[in-house]
Amino acid sequence: MKKLTILSIMLLAGVLTACHNQDWEFPDYKYTTVYFAYQTPVRTIVLGEDIYDTSLDNAHKCKIMATTGGVYQNNHNIVLDLSLDENLCKGFTFGEGGETVEAMPHHYYNYDDFVNTKLTIPSGQIAGGIEVQLTDEFFKDEKAIQNKYVIPMVINSVSNADSILRGKPAVANPNRLIAADWGTQPKDYILYCIKYINPWDATYLRRGKEVVTEDGAQREIVRHASYVEKDEKCALNTYNLKTVTASFKTYDKNKLEVPFTMSLTFDDNNNCIVKQKEGADYVITGNGKFVKDGDKKSWGQEDRDAVYLDYTLTLGNSNTYAIKDTLVVLTRGVVAETFKPVAIP
């Protein structure tokens, strides 16, 4: 019996030893390919700060990326020959009823670097990119804050990879941008859309106090929830490089809404001038300041960036609202985005 027990223990030890985890190994595919992962990405240049690194954005730069497939480890420098094809985006809009897609004006970026260029996917990497350097002229264009301009590029050839994902056409003379023209969609092109938001564009939590003068009588409105997270949400939206717009509301003595829209124009020291929107039937005068980490132990018990405003709203009936606002940054609100090109009939 003793010998049997010892034998059983030895067998069990052998089984346990044989059951340790081993690294899984999979073979590469027979062929390697190159392609653009997304055909119609939208890249928002985020000026100022966000929860991720925006140093490239603040240098007015971004990268157009291509990738390789078919291998788990790339052991070569894969070189793609690219060219601009500005005819590629002609005759399309950004979705149904959207803006007409236009090729990025040449003086808005380092155009000469893109006419005929090479993109390298370095050995050891599965993706590589070419750098876009935007010029000051781009940021002066009022349309650069929306989906409007694209850099249209096509992969012509590749070295150190077997093929380009050119798709399989379903008709003669297919258009790359029309899905119905293809049995397998091509990934050899990209319409790289670029827009921007300025440093003050964000969703905020709003609190404050108003001294209202109506028909000679004064009253006070206080807007401040028990927890900052419960304060009113509002947005400052990019109008141009230095200006944001905001739409707020207050209430008259009959508790009827009094909506108003204003612009905040900032200087290089983050001070701003507050005024009414153009054409408004009311007047707004005032000023403000953006302060980094200005709201101490704010939501999440962390210091948060804030905008402090002091302005007066004067209505057409001469009633006035002397308003002090604190706007605490909640989120910059930039998410991954693509667009669907729609052919113009």
First to last CA, the chain: 90
**Alpha-carbon distance 299 to 321, whole Å?**
28
Report how far residue 134's alpha carbon sits from residue 149's, in angstroms, rounded to the nearest whole number.
12
Q: Specify whether the CB–CB gap between 299 and 205 falls below 8 A.
A: yes
163: left (phi over 0), alpha (psi -120 to 50) or beta: beta
Would you state the structure tokens that stand for residue 149, as one six-digit string? 């301009």
Distance CA 184, CA 191 (A): 18
Mean residue pLDDT of the chain comes to 93
pLDDT at 71: 86
Kindly tell me if the per-residue pLDDT of 306 is higher than 70: yes
Residues with Cβ < 8 Å from 67, sequence gap 6 or more? Answer: 34, 35, 36, 37, 121, 126, 127
CA 277, 280, 286, 292 dihedral sign is negative
Is residue 140 within a helix (H) or strand (E), and if so which, with residue range? Answer: helix 136-140
Q: What six digits make up the tokens of 45?
A: 């240049």
Say which residue, 5 or 339, is predicted with more confidence.
Answer: 339
Q: Tell me: the pLDDT tens digits for 51-109?
A: 999 999 999 999 999 999 998 899 999 999 999 999 999 999 999 999 999 999 999 99
pLDDT of 186 > 90? The answer is yes
pLDDT higher than 60, residue 320: yes
- Per-residue pLDDT tens digits for 104-152: 999 999 999 999 899 999 999 999 999 999 999 999 999 999 999 999 9
pLDDT score at 72: 84
User: Domains in the chain, ordered, with CATH?
Assistant: 33-197 (2.60.40.1740), 202-331 (2.40.128.420)
Chain segment 11-29, per-residue pLDDT in tens: 444 444 445 555 555 556 6
Please choose, from the candidates 173, 174, 99, the residue with its C-alpha nearest in 3D space to the C-alpha of residue 342. 99
**Res. 270: pLDDT tops 60:** yes
